[in-house]
Amino acid sequence: MATDRMPGWVRGLLYTLALLVLWEGVGQLRLVAGGALPPPTAIALRLFADWADYPNHILATIQGASIGFVIGNAIALAAGVLFVLFPVTSRVARGLNVAIYALPPIAISPILVLTLSGMAPRVVLAAIGCYFVTMTATVVGLSQTDARAVDVVKAYGGSKWAVLRLVQWRSALPSILSGLRIAAPNAVLGAILAEFGGGGRWGLGVYLLGSLGRGEPDRLWGIGLMATAIAAFAYLAFAVAANAITGTTQAVTVPSSVAKAADRDRPVWQNATIAAASVALPFGVWMLLIWALGVPAMLAKSPAGLFEYLFLMPNSPVAQERLLAALAQTLPMTLIGMVAGLAMALGLALASQIYPAIVRAFMPIALVTQTMPLVALTPLLVLMLGRGYSLILWVTISVTFFPAFVTMAQGLILVPRAALEVPRAYGAGILTQLRLVSLPASLPYLFAATRLTVPRALLGVMIAEWLATGTGLGNLLNQSRGYLDYGMIWTVAVVSVLISVAFYQIVVVVEHRVLDRLGMASTN
C-alpha cells in the first residue's frame, strides 16, 4: 500500500481530514440528534459572522488561564522538588495535594466568585487545575531518574542539590513537559468554569453561558471549538518541546534500578504523626483560608460549622438522608466510570505503540473532549444518549481518560530502547514486546495514571449528574446552589474530597505492595 510510505504525520492528517468530511456529511444531513451536531462549515460560517464578539472574550479567558497557569505551575514545580528532596514533606502534604486535586470546580466556583473579585476566581481555578498534574509529573520525573547517573554524581561527593541540578531536573524534563501539556487545557477549562460562576463581562465562558439559552448549536460549537483551539495550541507547544527533548537523549541502556529514597524504616510513632499531619493539614489550610479571606460565616463553613450543620441542627437528619441517598447513586457510577476510563486509556496507549498514526488522528478528538466545555457538549450528549447511565459513563470517560492516557503513553515512550531490543532479538512481535517489557517497565506510570484518574472520575460523574441526569451528588450540589443552602454546598464539596482521598489512598497501598515486590520505585 502506498500509505505505508507516507510519513506518520501525513497519514495522521489524512485521517483527520477523513473525520472532518464524515462530520460534514453527518451534520449536513442532520443525522445526529436533529441537528445538535452542526456541520463544520456551518460552524465556521457562524464563527465568521460572530467574529466581532470574539477578541475580547478570548483575551479575557487567555488572561485568566495563563496567569493561573504560571502561578499554579510555579507552585507545583517548587512543591514537586521539595517533595522529592525531602520525602517526609510529600507524605505530610499528601492529604492536601489530593484534596486540591479533588476539589470539584463546580462546587467552589460560586464560592470563589462570592469571596474573591475580578480575575481572581478564574486565576485560582486555572491554577488549581494545573497544580496537581504538574506536581505529580515533577515528582514522577525526578524520582524515576536513572540510579546509575545519580551514583556518578554522588561518587564525587555531590549533594542532593548537585544531583538535582546535574541529573534529576534534566531527566525529569520530559515528564514535566508532559505534565504541563495536560495542565494547559486544564487551565483553560478552569478559567472557563470560573467564568460560568459569574462575575465579569468578558470570557468565553461568559459568552457560552449567554448563548446557551438561545438554542444555537452552531454558535455553541464555535465558542467551544475556539476554547479548544486555545488549549490545543498550548498543548501542542509543550508536546513539540517534549519531543525535541526526548528524541536524541533517551537512555540507551536499561536503568537497572531507579534512585530510591530510603524512607521506610521509621518508628511507628513517627509514621503515625506523619499520617495525622497529612490528614490535619487540609483542614488547617481550609480554616486558615476562611480566616484570611474574612468570608462571612454564613457563606463559608468551617469544619466545626459543617459538623454542626450535619449533626446538631434540627434539619440534620434530613440533610444526612439526602447526602446518603446521593452517595448511593454516585459511588457505583464513579467506580464503573473510573475502570472504563482507565481501560480506554490503556487500550489507546498500547494502540499508540502499535498504530501511531491512528492515535495521532484520534488526538484532536481527545483534546476536544478535554476542553470543549462539557456544558456545550452536554446538550448534544443528552440528545444522543438520553439522560441515563450511559451518559454519565461517557462524560466520566471523557474527563478521566485523557490524563491517564498521556501518563501511560509517557511511561511507554520512556521504556529504554535496549530493553525492547532484547525480546526483539528473539523475534518477538510488538505484542510480546509490550507484554514482556513495555507494560512491566511502565508499571509505575500505570499506577500514577490510576491515581490521577480517581478524583476526576468522581468529578465527571458529578458534572453529568448536575447537567443531565438530576441524580446523585452532582444534583444535590446544584439544588443546594439554587436554595442557597451553603451548608449542603460545603458538605458535598468536602464529602467528594474525602471520597477521592480515600480512593486515592487505596490505590497508593496497592501500588506500594506491587512495586515493592517487583523492586521498582513508586512515583508517589
Partner 1 sequence: MTKGSGITLDRVSRNFDSRGRRVEALREVSLACPPGSLTALIGPSGCGKSTILRLCLGLDTPSSGSLALNGLSPADATRAGMTGVAFQDAALLPWRSVQANVALPLDVLGHSVSAHASKIAELLDLVGLKGFEKSLPGELSGGMRQRVAIARALVTAPEVLFLDEPFGALDQILRRQMNIELQRIWMETGATTLLVTHGIDEAVFLADRIIVMASRPGRIAKIIDVDLPRPRDRSMFGDPRFHALEREIAEALDGH
Nearest distance, CB of residue 155 and partner 1, angstroms: 4
Give the span between the Cα atoms of 295 and 289, in whole angstroms: 9
Binding mask 256-275 vs partner 1 (x if CB under 8 A, - otherwise)? x-------------------
Q: Which is nearer to partner 1, 1 or 155 (CB)?
A: 155
Place of cell 480554616: 287
Among positions 60, 98, 128, 167, the unique one binding partner 1 when judged by CB under 8 A:
167
Q: Which is nearer to partner 1, 147 or 281 (CB)?
A: 147
Stretch that binds partner 1, among 14-22, 241-249, 392-400, 459-467 (CB under 8 A): 241-249
Q: Is 3 helix (H, G, I), strand (E, B) or coil?
A: helix
Q: Is 258 helix (H, G, I), strand (E, B) or coil?
A: strand
For residue 122, what are the contacts with CB-CB under 8 A and spacing of at least 6? Answer: 61, 64, 65, 68, 190, 191, 194, 195, 200, 203
Residue 517 interacts with partner 1 (CB under 8 A): yes or no: yes
Distances in whole angstroms, Cα of residue 480 to Cα of each of 9, 218, 325, 462: 49, 32, 15, 14
Place of cell 495535594: 97
Among positions 146, 195, 465, 511, the unique one binding partner 1 when judged by CB under 8 A:
146
Nearest distance, CB of residue 360 and partner 1, angstroms: 24
Among positions 77, 123, 153, 172, the unique one binding partner 1 when judged by CB under 8 A:
153
Among positions 84, 149, 227, 338, the unique one binding partner 1 when judged by CB under 8 A:
149
Among positions 117, 253, 271, 320, the unique one binding partner 1 when judged by CB under 8 A:
253
Look up residue 146 and give its DSSP letter: B
Nearest distance, CB of residue 232 and partner 1, angstroms: 28
Cβ-contact 495, 301 below 8 angstroms: no
> In the numeric block, which cell numbers belong to residue 237?
507547544
Q: Which is nearer to partner 1, 151 or 263 (CB)?
A: 151
Residue 162 interacts with partner 1 (CB under 8 A): yes or no: yes
Number of neighbouring beta carbons within 10 Å of residue 132: 28
For residue 15, what are the contacts with CB-CB under 8 A and spacing of at least 6? Answer: 357, 358, 360, 361
Radius of gyration (C-alpha) of the chain in whole angstroms: 24
Stretch that binds partner 1, among 51-59, 65-73, 202-210, 244-252 (CB under 8 A): 244-252
Residue 508 interacts with partner 1 (CB under 8 A): yes or no: no
Nearest distance, CB of residue 170 and partner 1, angstroms: 5
Cβ-contact 194, 229 below 8 angstroms: no
Binding positions for partner 1, 298-357, rule CB under 8 A: none
Give the span between the Cα atoms of 412 and 442, in whole angstroms: 6
Total residues in contact with partner 1, by rule CB under 8 A: 26
Nearest distance, CB of residue 452 and partner 1, angstroms: 26
Among positions 13, 148, 323, 364, the unique one binding partner 1 when judged by CB under 8 A:
148
Stretch that binds partner 1, among 6-14, 25-33, 69-77, 252-260 (CB under 8 A): 252-260
Among positions 7, 157, 213, 314, the unique one binding partner 1 when judged by CB under 8 A:
157
Place of cell 485560582: 124
Among positions 1, 252, 304, 425, the unique one binding partner 1 when judged by CB under 8 A:
252
Nearest distance, CB of residue 163 and partner 1, angstroms: 9
Among positions 18, 29, 152, 365, the unique one binding partner 1 when judged by CB under 8 A:
152
Q: Which is nearer to partner 1, 157 or 213 (CB)?
A: 157
CA angle 284/290/293 to nearest 5° reads 130
Stretch that binds partner 1, among 9-17, 152-160, 204-212, 292-300 (CB under 8 A): 152-160
Give the span between the Cα atoms of 226 and 204, in whole angstroms: 8
Residue 422 interacts with partner 1 (CB under 8 A): yes or no: no
Residue 440 interacts with partner 1 (CB under 8 A): yes or no: no
> Helices marked H in 103-198 — which ranges?
105-115, 120-143, 147-155, 160-163, 169-196
> Helices marked H in 156-294 — which ranges?
160-163, 169-196, 204-212, 217-249, 268-293
Nearest distance, CB of residue 423 and partner 1, angstroms: 19
Burial class (CB in 10 A: 0-12, 13-18, 19+), 3: exposed
Q: Is 519 helix (H, G, I), strand (E, B) or coil?
A: coil
Residue 156 interacts with partner 1 (CB under 8 A): yes or no: yes
Q: Which is nearer to partner 1, 55 or 519 (CB)?
A: 519
Binding site for partner 1 (CB under 8 A): 146, 148-149, 151-158, 162, 166-167, 170-171, 245, 248-253, 256, 517, 519
